[in-house]
Amino acid sequence: MLKGSIVALVTPFTKYGNIDYSELEYLVDRHCEAGTDAIVAVGTTGESTTLSHEEHIDVVGAMVELSKGRIRVIGGNGSNSTSEAVQLTEKMMHLGVDGFLNVTPYYNKPSMAGLLAHYQACAEASDKPQILYNVPGRTALDMTPDMVEQLAAIDNIIGIKEATGDISRVAELKRRCGDDFILLSGDDPTAREFMLAGGHGVISVTANVAPAQIKALVDLATQGDREQAELIDSKLDALHQVLFVESNPIPVKWALALMGWCSANYRLPLTPPEAQNQEKIEAVLAELDLLNSQES
């Protein structure tokens, strides 16, 4: 099942702006070693908005190949154009992905009828499981529990990444969609409480930097061990916060560069963090003993 500790993986670039497949292989290996349950390939954290469709498909395919069956791979297939989302789905379904993460159409703010039609078209493009992605802070559209209930009736829509940080939605979504509908937090600072309330895991930015710690947190929280989950998460709180001191994935990619895991190369309009934020990120990593951790 597509649940547990899932990393929203960065996409590494060379200094010339090309995909760095060598660094990508290193990152995949680190997550396999750390016990991460699945990788989201080319989502928001993977800078999907600056990749061409060809690059998008190539990176997802590379992650499947590099994983060698050791870890599940979920392909990002969202777009604000239904035809583009369908094309991405059709082209990726043969790569060996285990499922898809499909963000709500952004900017154009469709009606409920439009949203249903959009997801129905994407679901029909592949028999692979699809996870809804609700992140109103980026899309200007909040997929309410009522909307999710209607979309959950589509056979291969199996869950949702809920990034509002609203813990009360866990109980409501369970009531509306049933216990088998997978609920994944998309908000690292509130993920612990989301899982303790009955969520099935997290799609995490922090897991890029601290994969073993997030895996341990997810296992404890989904088992209902509040005391031990709080103990781990309290140590990660400053990391959760600093990785969003600027727009994701600017801080997390900078953090990975400080750790020696990948280069701090971005595609415009994303740029490196401001100087004061670079210092904040480095200070938190130092406090957690994560600097220069390439061989840890």
pLDDT tens digits along 50-85: 999 999 999 999 999 999 999 999 999 999 999 999
Find the range with the poorest average confidence among 27-31, 110-114, 197-201: 110-114
Q: What's the token pair of residue 223? A: 């088992």
Q: What is the mean pLDDT of residues 204-211?
A: 98
**Residue 243 contacts residue 209 (beta carbons within 8 Å):** yes
Identify the pLDDT of residue 89: 97
Percent of the chain with pLDDT over 70: 98
Q: Is the pLDDT reported for residue 8 higher than 60?
A: yes
Strands (E) located in 170-280: 182-185, 201-204
Q: Is the pLDDT reported for residue 40 higher than 80?
A: yes
Q: What's the token pair of residue 244? A: 């969003």
- Band of residue 295 on the pLDDT scale cut at 50, 70, 90: very low
The larger pLDDT score, comparing residue 292 to residue 158, is at: 158
Identify the pLDDT of residue 294: 59
Residue numbers belonging to the annotated binding site:
45, 203
- Band of residue 183 on the pLDDT scale cut at 50, 70, 90: very high
In a 3-state reduction of DSSP, which class is residue 272? coil
Burial of 266 (0-12, 13-18, 19+ CB in 10 A): buried
For residue range 94-150, list pLDDT tens digits in order.
999 999 999 999 999 999 999 999 999 999 999 999 999 999 999 999 999 999 999
Q: What is the mean pLDDT of residues 186-190?
A: 98
Q: What is the residue type of 180? A: D
Residue numbers belonging to the annotated binding site for pyruvate:
45, 203
Q: Quick one: how far is CA 270 from the chain centroid?
A: 18
**Residue 208 contacts residue 28 (beta carbons within 8 Å):** no
d(CA 105, CA 139): 7
**What are the chain's domains?**
4-234 (3.20.20.70)
Catalogue the active-site residues: 133, 161
Q: Is the pLDDT reported for residue 296 higher than 60?
A: no
Cβ atoms within 10 A of the Cβ of 107, count?
A: 9
**Residue 206 contacts residue 245 (beta carbons within 8 Å):** no
Q: What's the token pair of residue 190? A: 């509130």
Q: Which long-range contacts (CB under 8 A, 24 or more apart) does 179-186 make?
A: 181/152, 182/1, 182/2, 182/3, 182/131, 182/158, 183/159, 184/3, 184/6, 184/131, 184/159, 184/160, 185/161, 186/133, 186/134, 186/135, 186/161, 186/162
**Among 86, 74, 84, residue whose Cα is nearest residue 129:** 74
Mean pLDDT computed over every residue of the chain? 96
d(CA 39, CA 46): 11
Q: What's the token pair of residue 53? A: 């469709």
- Band of residue 1 on the pLDDT scale cut at 50, 70, 90: confident
Identify the pLDDT of residue 213: 98
d(CA 263, CA 265): 6
**Residue 72 contacts residue 100 (beta carbons within 8 Å):** no
Question: Phi/psi at 88 (nearest 5 deg)?
Answer: -60, -45
pTM, two decimal places: 0.96
